[in-house]
Structure 1
């Protein structure tokens, strides 16, 4: 069966916003090294204005609190419990957006897919596209009714350090890195203090910014084919980035091109470069 596009437009969402099975998620997130970063800053933006009916999903809160790494995927039990309370569950068609184009929303899209909920789309262009389209805005938080969420864990969409370490020398696996080229090559520093820059041996630089057009939307299939086409025939695809957020944007692009089986290295470079004596390539 053909793979559905992972994105929806602002106009599509406007015309379906009142559909009884549609639920909208605001996944706005501000990277901790950003000048705009402050405790609760992203949620305050949500409180000031959001798409009507949208619930707020915090990737730093719905996460594995026992891990020293940022916003790691939580256990299925925790994920299910949290999204049930947000009124998100079985039978719902989910649409997720954020205020950083769709970087954090791409991660939330991936999280739901790992947990077995494939009926989820990302708002192309994010909050900026919604505002530009004249979509309605609300500042009142919804009061969702709890909804049952059935987890069907898709472990093939998730990779850890040991698996990626093995994959880095496996000719059957291609690893795509979403960080800027300067960090990939080791020329520029990492934003997280104490981390060396460079890349996983054998990986390919695929900056997330190259996958987005000038309007802030995911590039067309033809444009993405020009960027990713040489990797599409790889038996196995894994994406990585700084901490597992922008890597999900590569997953969106691959999905648009018909590869819905690519996995994400959760923890990504933060995990890799934090290992004892990590194997780091440069140039």
Structure 2
């Protein structure tokens, strides 16, 4: 087994295929600029038995933000319809290696699943080892997902106003450095460029190597270089709440569990009329 309890290797997942209580989730999601269709790629080839988790559909209906967490009841209904129970061993992966899968890893845990792993290296690692793929749409039966929502893992706009004005928790933004500095325009219309005052920047690309999460020692070192206390209370943020979860996975890997995720992230903060915004590094 992988030394990181939050990861599973392609070899270990391959050995577990077909076991009762195992749910495999293709959590691929791409930015519009990447020009890729997650669902089409899933249908063209996925890990045998995997179901597709649509990160644009399993959200709070009517929210003006792109990836707002749904209610526990809605999440349970949507995930149960995929044949997933909270008591399952749940393995999530994505088509880039380590990009969008941590968001679903985080969501599953927030809503009560206890044994959730990220496939180390994702689908690229699986295919690089010559492991089989399944095509089409996976037929599944329904399951009962009993939610147990952990509100303490989630930060909202009011929480973030408090962290910015009063401190007490490190704010770490994983967007690329140029977006954090505000030297490039945000990809979403109406969203200001820059960052929250007092926040630190640790681009999510710096947390990985060749599509895999770096070692605990390497993660600690990179956090320290970015001016972040690896063991201190923190809240993570990104563009819309997806890639921030890579940092939550990194914090969990080094043993820091006092970490929230700002669900609205910069899409919410940068589009509000009265939130303070800084530019430059």
TM-score interval, smaller chain: over 0.9
Cα pair 2:7 2:117 within 8 Å, conserved? yes
1:238 pairs with 235, 238, 241, which one? 235
Tell me what 1:228 maps to.
223
Tell me what 1:267 maps to.
264
Structure 2, unpaired ranges of 5+ = none
The CA deviation at 1:116 is: 1.2
- Matched residues in 1 for 2:244 and 2:96: separation? 14
Cα pair 1:26 1:55 within 8 Å, conserved? yes
The CA deviation at 1:4 is: 6.0
Tell me what 1:217 maps to.
212
Task: Report Cα offsets for 1:167-216 as digits up to 9, x if no partner.
Answer: 11333200110000111111122122232211011110010000011x21
- Matched residues in 1 for 2:258 and 2:40: separation? 35
- Matched residues in 2 for 1:186 and 1:140: separation? 42
The CA deviation at 1:118 is: 2.1
SS in 2 for 1:122: strand
Cα pair 2:86 2:114 within 8 Å, conserved? no
Task: Report Cα offsets for 1:94-142 as digits up to 9, x if no partner.
Answer: 0000112222111001111110112111111111011111111010422
Task: Report Cα offsets for 1:6-33 as digits up to 9, x if no partner.
Answer: 1111122112122222110001112123
Structure 1, unpaired ranges of 5+ = none
> Alpha carbon RMSD of aligned pairs, Å?
1.5
SS in 1 for 2:90: strand
Stretches of 4+ aligned residues off by more than 3 angstroms? none
Indicate yes or no: 2:16 matched with 1:16: yes
Q: How does 1:107-146 map to 2 (within 5 A)?
A: 107-146=103-142
Cα pair 1:186 1:282 within 8 Å, conserved? yes
- Matched residues in 1 for 2:4 and 2:130: separation? 26
Cα pair 1:97 1:123 within 8 Å, conserved? yes
Query: Mean Cα displacement is larger for which, 3-12 or 180-189?
Result: 3-12
Q: How does 1:20-31 map to 2 (within 5 A)?
A: 20-31=20-31
TM-score, normalised by the number of residues in structure 2: 0.94
Tell me what 1:255 maps to.
252
**What is the number of residues matched between the two proteins?**
275
- Matched residues in 1 for 2:216 and 2:231: separation? 16
TM-score, normalised by the number of residues in structure 1: 0.93
Tell me what 1:96 maps to.
92
Tell me what 1:201 maps to.
197
